[in-house]
């Protein structure tokens, strides 16, 4: 579904900001039906990786293939559902207008959009608020609206950037449950987080990024043993890597 080969990305120097190497020779792949957790501290390169996969930015070197095509090919995004880290919408639109936009751009007819909107907005507890302006939504509601937009076209591949961000414990539990359901349906999921509590319930594979480099890629079982939590294993791995530099 996703293949990154020897990706290098450096953000150029800008006024008041020095040049910054965000990714250094990154290679990995996500197979069909897999759920991969992309974890790392702030500035590790997680968001850069996601932005590259979605063609928001371009690599300096290396090759990216998403669903067998170059990510700049817009039609592949008909099979991708993306949840940004912070949900942002034009503030004067209603939830339903944004959902309609999301559905129409994926080629859904008006009736298909209405049907899918009902399904996902009910599921995400937003049905009653569908005609309210998004600027009046709480952070959690905006995040759920963004989730509905990502799922409206039943995508094969889901890219979730910090899906639990801004959610209260109840909302978070619901999203975890939803991700598990999507995983059971066989969708491929790449999700990026620095909250490690839910990782072992959600992912098959783990990719640990630190300072723009891959520190671990593999199955969760081999990442941490039964006496060690994911968080402890992550901290030990990062400390070991830093000490060897």
Partner 1 sequence: MTANLTNILSLARIIFLDGIRRYALLGLLLLSLFSEAMGLFFMDFVSHDVGRASSDFLFSIMWLGGMLFLLFHAVQVIAWDEERGVIYSILSRPLSRSAYVIGVFVGLAVLLTLLLLSLGLVAYLTLNWIQDALDPIYFPVFSSSHFILTWLGIVVAQLTILSVIMLFSGLVRGGFPVLLLSLAYYAICTGLPTVRESIESETATNGGNESTLIFLKLLSSIFPDLTRLDYKNSVLSDMLPLSVTEISTDFSIVSLYAIIMMTFACMAYVRRDLQ
What's the closest the beta carbon of residue 228 comes to partner 1, in angstroms?
A: 35
Distance CA 132, CA 93 (A): 8
What's the closest the beta carbon of residue 237 comes to partner 1, in angstroms?
A: 28
Distance set, CA 13 to CA 16, 17, 20 (Å): 8, 6, 7
Residues in the chain: 245
Q: Which residues of 187-211 are buried (b: 16+ CB within 10 A; e: fewer)?
A: bbbbbbbeebebbeebbbbbbbbbb
Structure tokens at 160: 């979730």
80 binds partner 1 (CB under 8 A): yes
Residue numbers 91-130 binding partner 1 by CB under 8 A? 91-93, 97-98, 100-102, 104-107
Residue numbers 193-232 binding partner 1 by CB under 8 A? none
- Toward partner 1, which CB reaches closer, 149 or 199? 149
- Toward partner 1, which CB reaches closer, 155 or 171? 155
What's the closest the beta carbon of residue 105 comes to partner 1, in angstroms?
A: 4
Give DSSP secondary structure letters for 150-208.
Answer: HHTT--SEEEEESTTTT--HHHHHHHHHHHHHHHHTT-EEEEEES--TTHHHH-SEEEE
Distance CA 70, CA 47 (A): 19
- Residues in contact with partner 1, shown as a per-residue x/- string from 18 to 57 under the rule CB under 8 A: ---------------------------------x--xxxx
Stretch that binds partner 1, among 27-35, 89-97, 184-192, 222-230 (CB under 8 A): 89-97
Residue numbers 127-166 binding partner 1 by CB under 8 A? 133, 146, 149-150
Size of the site for partner 1 (CB under 8 A): 36
Q: Tell me the longest C-alpha to C-alpha distance in the chain.
A: 58
What SS3 state is found at 219? strand
- Toward partner 1, which CB reaches closer, 92 or 226? 92
The residues binding partner 1 (CB under 8 A) are 11, 51, 54-58, 74-78, 80, 82, 84, 86-93, 97-98, 100-102, 104-107, 133, 146, 149-150
């Amino acid at each position: 579904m996703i293949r990154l080969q020897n990706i290098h990305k450096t953000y150029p120097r800008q006024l008041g900001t020095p040049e910054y190497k965000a990714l250094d020779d990154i290679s990995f792949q996500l197979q069909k039906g897999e759920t991969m957790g992309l974890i790392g501290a702030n500035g590790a390169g997680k968001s850069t990786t996601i932005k590259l996969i979605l063609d928001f930015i371009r690599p300096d070197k290396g090759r990216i293939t998403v669903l067998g095509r170059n990510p700049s090919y817009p039609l592949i995004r008909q099979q991708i559902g993306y949840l940004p880290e912070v949900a942002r919408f034009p503030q004067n639109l209603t939830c339903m207008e944004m959902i309609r936009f999301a559905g129409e751009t994926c080629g859904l007819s008006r009736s298909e959009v209405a049907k899918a909107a009902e399904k996902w907005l009910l599921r995400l507890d937003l049905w009653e608020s569908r005609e309210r302006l998004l600027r009046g939504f709480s952070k959690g509601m905006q995040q759920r609206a963004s989730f509905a937009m990502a799922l409206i076209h039943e995508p094969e591949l889901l890219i979730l950037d910090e899906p639990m961000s801004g959610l209260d414990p109840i909302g978070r539990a619901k999203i975890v449950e939803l991700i598990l359901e999507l995983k059971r349906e066989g969708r491929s999921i790449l999700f990026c987080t620095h909250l490690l509590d839910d990782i072992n319930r959600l992912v098959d594979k783990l990719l640990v990024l630190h300072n723009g480099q891959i520190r671990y890629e593999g199955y969760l079982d081999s990442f941490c043993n039964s006496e060690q939590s994911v968080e402890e294993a992550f901290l030990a791995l990062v400390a070991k890597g830093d000490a060897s530099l």
